[in-house]
Amino acid sequence: MLVLAAQSVPDATLIPCVQAFPSGWSVGGSEIVDGRMTFWLNSDRAGIHALEVDLTSSCDVSGAVEVAPAPDETGTRRYEEPISLRPSYSGNRYYLFSGGCITYRYRFRAGASTTLALEADEALSFTPRAVVVAAVEHDLGLSLCGVGASPCAG
């Protein structure tokens, strides 16, 4: 999935990934098309499709507030856009970086604790695209196109 994500937005220098699942969280599905990669997480407490993660080349942060990124988010500009706390938590988080944007869309079911967002945050991370490019070359003998590799055709 990381290889497909890297090719879906070839100028993005970071790719979102799941590093470890907290108890009760699982991947619900994914969609990868030219210009966008999306996957979503389900939670036994926050609900189905509780968190959607998008990778795109850009995003509109005009309704969001910039906040300081966490130490493991170095190289990004982080924006928060709270939408509602009750009856159900929903909000967007944006990470802007060279060549791309990662968006987290929290959509918890009614009554789910907002602290579940902290669990989800612990599960998610970023992988440098250069790591994926190098792994594909080393493991498969293939070259990806895009930033850190050969230019993409057309």
Domain boundary assignment for the chain: 2-140
Model pLDDT for residues 107-123, shown as the tens digit of each residue: 999 999 999 999 999 88
What Å distances lie between residue 14 and 42, 53, 58, CA to CA?
Answer: 23, 13, 13
Nearest to 16 by CA among 46, 49, 40: 40
Q: Which amino acid is at 142?
A: L
Q: Do the Cβ atoms of 108 and 88 come closer than 8 Å?
A: yes
Report the distance separating Cα 22 and Cα 9, nearest Å: 28
Nearest to 118 by CA among 84, 93, 86: 93
Count Cβ atoms within 10 A of the Cβ of residue 69 and give its class: 0-12 exposed, 13-18 middle, 19 or more buried.
middle
Q: What is the pTM of this model?
A: 0.92
What Å distances lie between residue 2 and 43, 61, 96, 135, 139, CA to CA?
Answer: 22, 25, 19, 11, 14
Structure tokens at 123: 């599960």
Look-up of token digits 């907290």 = 22
The 8-class DSSP code of residue 31 comes to: E
Is the pLDDT reported for residue 28 higher than 80?
yes
- Work out the pLDDT band at 154, boundaries 50, 70, 90: low
Count Cβ atoms within 10 A of the Cβ of residue 151 and give its class: 0-12 exposed, 13-18 middle, 19 or more buried.
exposed
Is the pLDDT reported for residue 151 higher than 80?
no
Averaged pLDDT for residues 87-105: 96
Between these two residues, 19 and 108, which has the higher pLDDT value? 108
Between these two residues, 145 and 126, which has the higher pLDDT value? 126
Model pLDDT for residues 54-73, shown as the tens digit of each residue: 999 999 999 999 999 988 88
Which pLDDT score is estimated for 142?
Answer: 83
Mean pLDDT of the chain: 92
Q: What percent of the chain has pLDDT over 70?
A: 98
